Structure 1
Amino acid sequence: MDSVGTARLLISNGGESALELTVEPWAETHQMLPKQTWVVVTHSPAADGSWSGTLREDEPFQVDYRPESITVWVNGNCFHLSDTDANVIDSADWHCPAQGAFS
């Protein structure tokens, strides 16, 4: 899949304690340790690479932050989560294209 239909979002925990990351609509939860940065990658289900959006059209992600947690709503047909060294943390849907931080 080319970059037109691929979106990446860096999530960092700059706090002093663990932060719960939830990836929706899969309800996948993970604990991010302090100073960790992860990459959420998704791919558009549309042939033209467009996104359905959550609150507005053509948005690949929506992020909701609370003091001890962050929720990322993914508007693609799948996601993969990795660290910045491209080590896979999680992947929803086995039909997702190539995995890793820069895939």
Structure 2
Amino acid sequence: MAMFAGRTARLVVSNDDEMPLDLMLEPWGDVHRILPEETCVVVTHSSAGDGSWPGTRLGDEPFQVGHRRDSVTLWVNGHCFHLCDRKGNEIDPYVYGGCPAQSPTT
């Protein structure tokens, strides 16, 4: 990961159920399926000089979460997001939103 002057936020989402859980990531409309007993870390970045998060009305909330029985909707209020496991290994190599904190992939 490249050096980054903005803020980074992480949210851990775990599936403690016996059925898969759909993780809907907005505003991109991406869906990631979290299998039973699996954990996913959603990482987002804000490059705003004042440290605010551009997608939120309050300015200090990197995430908003909605939950239903078989899914979680996560509004990511940074400029981008990427998914990793607890050890930091990427789950999906595609970065949504042109992440300013990551080096371009070759």
Alignment TM class, shorter chain as reference: 0.7 to 0.9
Q: Which residue of 2 aligns with 1:12?
A: 14
Q: Which residue of 1 aligns with 2:46?
A: 44
8 Å contact from structure 1 (residues 79, 96) kept in 2: no
In structure 1, how many angstroms separate the alpha carbons of the residues matched to 2:57 and 2:39? 25
CA offset at residue 55 of structure 1? 5.6
* SS of the residue 2:22 aligns to: strand
Structure 2 gaps, min length 5: none
User: More strand per residue: 1 or 2?
Assistant: 1
Structure 2 letter corresponding to 1:98: Q
Q: Which residue of 2 aligns with 1:81?
A: 83
CA offset at residue 48 of structure 1? 2.1
**What is the aligned length?**
98
Q: Which residue of 2 aligns with 1:67?
A: 69
Structure 2 letter corresponding to 1:12: S
Q: Deviations over 1:11-61 (max 9, x none)?
A: 000111100001100111011001111111111131122124546331100
Structure 1 gaps, min length 5: none
Which has the larger Rg? 2
Backbone CA RMSD of aligned residues: 1.9
